[in-house]
Structures are given as structure tokens and as C-alpha cells.
Amino acid sequence: MAYVFSVIPGNIAKFCANKPIHIIIGTALLASLTYLTIVENYVAHFNISADSSDLLHFYHAPGSSNDWIQIDDLSDFASNGAEHLALTPISFKGAEKSDYPLNGQLIFSEDGSQAFLLSDYQNYDEEIEKLDLLTNEAGEVFKPRTANKIGRYYGYIKQHLKKVVSLVKGAEKFDIALITVAYLAMWMSFVQLFYQMQRVGSTFWLAFGTLLSSLFAFLFSIVITTEVLNKKIPLISLTEGLPFLVATIGFKHKVSFTEPIVKALSSRKNQNKDISTVIGEVVTKQTALPLIKEQLLLSLALFLGSFMVPAKTGFGNFCILSSVILAVDLFFTFTFYASILSLKAQISQVHRRIELKEFLEEDGIAESVADAVSLQPSSSLFTAHSTVVSFKVLTILGFLSLHLFVLGTSWLYEETSDYSPSSLISATTKSLHSSIAQKISISELGTIVTVLPVRAYHKIH
């Protein structure tokens, strides 16, 4: 048992510390894939139009003699039991109308140049998912193209904030106060992490590496929980539950993992040992067993807690997610975070040696003597220098700027920019165009049609 909980984690940490660049880059790439999966689940299928205030709404009263009229307020008509339909324009850019896919769910204008999806408004998401891939008679496949990323994120955040505000208005004051205290405690945990890491010997980067490791563990855990275990976690549950988890668990285990490693790397007796070897020895002899015992007990307790209230599905799923987060974070501590410690130690060691050697040579010390002195260990192995900090900050800012640029310039490939819903309005009657209106049947209590934003398709093969 001791071998499993100490020697194996020590060997894993040693291997990862010996190849820090490979582990860090590989983990970051996998984390990017999990991030895209999460965005696909939470944002990509989000219907911005369902909460938009600038949609076009038309109403047709019972009877064929009436005309379609444009309306602004749906409440009066919907309360009368009128049928509510969604009309989604479909755009096939780069394809002639003779090459348009034929599908039983689509309706076309008289000249066949415009395609539309007519569906029940409440079941729009289910209907649109059926049109994920469309094939024409020539066997060419069309796939929907994601709309402008910035606009999609903005719409999703806007709707989520509205939902949060509505929940806050309907919640009890005690619940609001409790969640507020949880958020404050979470931020205090962040501040405490930086303070504790500063006492260890790192002003910023080890604390940042700790947060990055936990963030990656969080991303992987969401994908494992939602995709592998098939447990759905609403975003509201995440926003309410995560502060309690962070405030309760904190980052004390990462500090306990870091402190003995930093002391060992700064010790004179380890000056001739490889950094990865030192990290592996410390993990095997000191940190692995207590860390695994603590984290697995907490993870097991949260997993069992998911069965305590079977009627509360949301609570049970979040307990499972929390259990997975602790388990994945433990694994990342021995792999990704050990690589960060190793890389930071190597960079600091090389920088210190070069700086000390140059200083001694400037004072007239022989090069061979300067080399020997620069190889001596230093108690401030993890202390960052201003130039190094400035370079790293600029690197991160450059990465974030590039990421925002890619998001912000997604309009360059937006295929819906030349389409306007006004083409559905008759220029003479200001009502729904006759070529579309004749395709819609009127219910006995009247019919409402909401025109949603265009859904663009592009040819993939």
C-alpha cells in the first residue's frame, strides 16, 4: 500500500519534473480541447435569439381573411392561446439554389432562393439539432457555421445574468447573504494562497501555477462529469456551488506539497542532484502519502454525499463533480504542478548562475573560479527577478491579446452579415411576405411567428 501511495506518485512526479516543457505544453493543449468542449456544451447550442429584444414578431388572427401584422408585445396574443412558431432563415452561402439540400423540415420561397425552418417556438432547439448536417442530391454535405463568437458569448452572459438577477430577486435574504459570504471566502482563499507562497519563497509564479493547475483540473472534471459520467451540471449550480468548494478545500494541500520541495531544492546536500530527482524523493518520502490520504477521503465523502439526497438531482451531480475535481486535482499535483515546480527551479537556477558568474567576472575573478562559485546552491532559488517577471507578464498579455483578437475578428468569416430579416417583410403591406405566409397554416386561436436570426451553412465536402 505504501508503494502505491508513495513510490508510484514519486516516480510520476520525477518523470514529469524531468520533462517539464512536454508535460506543461501537452496538458495545456488537452485543457484547450476540454475548454472547447465545455464551450460547445454551454454556449454553442445557446439560442441567443430566444432572449433578444430586437426580433421580428408577426401575428395572424383566426380566419383566412385576416392579414399578418407585425407586433411588439407577445404577452397579449400568447395569453389567448395562439400557436407560437419560430421561423429561422437558412443560408447556404457559396451554393446555387439548384444545389440546396432538400429536407422535409425546410420550406422554400416561391423562386426557391430562400430556405426556412418552421418549428414550434418552444421546441426550437430540438428541431434545429436535427439539421446538424444536410445533404443535397449530389451528395454534398452542408454543416452549420458558428455565429460571431463575441456576440454569442455576450448573449449567453447576458441571459445568464438576467437569470441570476431573477433568482436573486426571488431568493431569501439569508440565502443571498450566505452565497455572498462564500464568494468573499473564495477570494480570501486566493489572497491567502499568494501570501503563503510568498512565505515559501515565490512572490507570484508558484501561486499562479497553483491556480492554473486547479483551473485545468476543473476543466477536465467538467468534461469527465458531463461527457463520461453523463451528469448535467447547470451553470447556475456552478456559480452557486464553486465558491463553497474553493472556500472549504482551499489550496493548503498545494502549499504543503510545495514547501518541502522548495526547501530540498535549496539545500546544500542536494546541490549535486538533478532537480527532478530531488522532487521525486521529496514526493515519495514526505508529501505523497498524507496528500493522497486527505484528498481521497474528501473526494470519497463528496461522492457518498451525492446519494444522501436522491431527490435533489442538481445537488447530487454537483457533489459528483466536486469529487471528480479533487481526484483530478490530486493527479495534476503530481504531474502538471510538479512540472511547473521543476521548470521554475531550473529557470531560477540558470538565471542565478549566469548573474553570479557575470558579477564575479566583473570584479576580476577568474572564469573557472566564477563557474565554481555560481554552482553553489542558493536559499532564494524561487525568487523572481524584475526582468524575468516583466518578460513573463508580457508573454501572458500577448497570449491573451492574441486570443481576444481571434475572438474579436470572427466577423471576418461571418456568413450572415449580408442577410437582413427585413427581406421577409412585404414592402407594401409591412406584413409577413406572401411567399412565406402562404406556407404557414393558421390555428383556430391565431398564430404568432417569431423570426429568428439566420442560420448559415457551409459546404464541408
Q: What is the pLDDT along the chain (461 residues), one digit of tens a residue?
A: 667 788 899 999 999 999 998 999 999 999 988 988 887 777 655 554 444 455 788 888 887 666 788 887 777 676 677 888 888 888 877 777 777 887 777 877 766 677 888 888 888 877 777 777 888 877 888 887 665 555 556 666 666 677 777 777 777 888 888 889 999 999 999 999 999 999 888 888 899 999 999 999 999 999 999 989 988 888 778 888 899 999 988 899 999 999 999 888 888 787 778 888 999 999 999 999 999 999 999 999 999 988 887 777 788 889 999 999 999 999 999 999 999 999 888 887 776 656 655 555 555 565 554 455 445 544 444 544 454 555 556 666 665 665 555 554 444 444 444 444 445 655 445 566 676 777 788 888 888 888 887 888 877 76
Spatial separation of the C-alpha atoms in residues 323 and 346, rounded to whole Å = 34
* Cα diameter, the chain: 103
Residue 245 region by backbone torsions, left for phi larger than 0, else alpha for psi between -120 and 50, else beta = alpha
Spatial separation of the C-alpha atoms in residues 185 and 368, rounded to whole Å = 54
- CA-to-CA dists, residue 380 to 132, 263, 352, 411, 446, angstroms: 57, 10, 9, 49, 77
Tell me, rounded to whole angstroms, the distance of Cα 133 from its chain centroid: 25
And the C-alpha cell for 206?
508558484
- For the question of whether the overall pTM of this predicted structure is more than 0.75, the answer is no
- Predicted confidence at residue 409, as pLDDT, reads 46
- CA-to-CA dists, residue 398 to 21, 137, 402, 404, angstroms: 19, 47, 6, 10
In 3D, which of 452, 450, 451, 458 has the Cα closest to residue 414? Answer: 458
Tell me, rounded to whole angstroms, the distance of Cα 70 from its chain centroid: 39
- Coil/strand/helix, residue 354: helix
Cβ pair 152, 43 in contact under 8 A: yes
φ, ψ of residue 80 in degrees (nearest 5): -85, 0
Tell me the residue ranges of DSSP E strands in 76-129.
Answer: 83-92, 106-108, 115-120
Cβ pair 341, 258 in contact under 8 A: yes
- Angle made by CA atoms 55, 57, 59, in degrees to the nearest 5: 175
Spatial separation of the C-alpha atoms in residues 207 and 196, rounded to whole Å = 9
- Predicted confidence at residue 50, as pLDDT, reads 45
Spatial separation of the C-alpha atoms in residues 352 and 348, rounded to whole Å = 6
Where in the chain are the domains?
A: 2-27+169-339, 48-147+428-459
Spatial separation of the C-alpha atoms in residues 125 and 44, rounded to whole Å = 12
Spatial separation of the C-alpha atoms in residues 127 and 119, rounded to whole Å = 7
Is 8 exposed, middle or buried (CB count within 10 Å of its CB: 0-12, 13-18, 19+)? Answer: middle
Length of the chain, please?
461
- In the block, residue with C-alpha cell 532564494: 380
How many other β-carbons are positioned within 10 Å of the β-carbon of residue 209?
22
- Predicted confidence at residue 417, as pLDDT, reads 43
- Coil/strand/helix, residue 252: helix
DSSP state of 15: H
Spatial separation of the C-alpha atoms in residues 343 and 445, rounded to whole Å = 70
Indicate the residue type of 309.
Answer: V
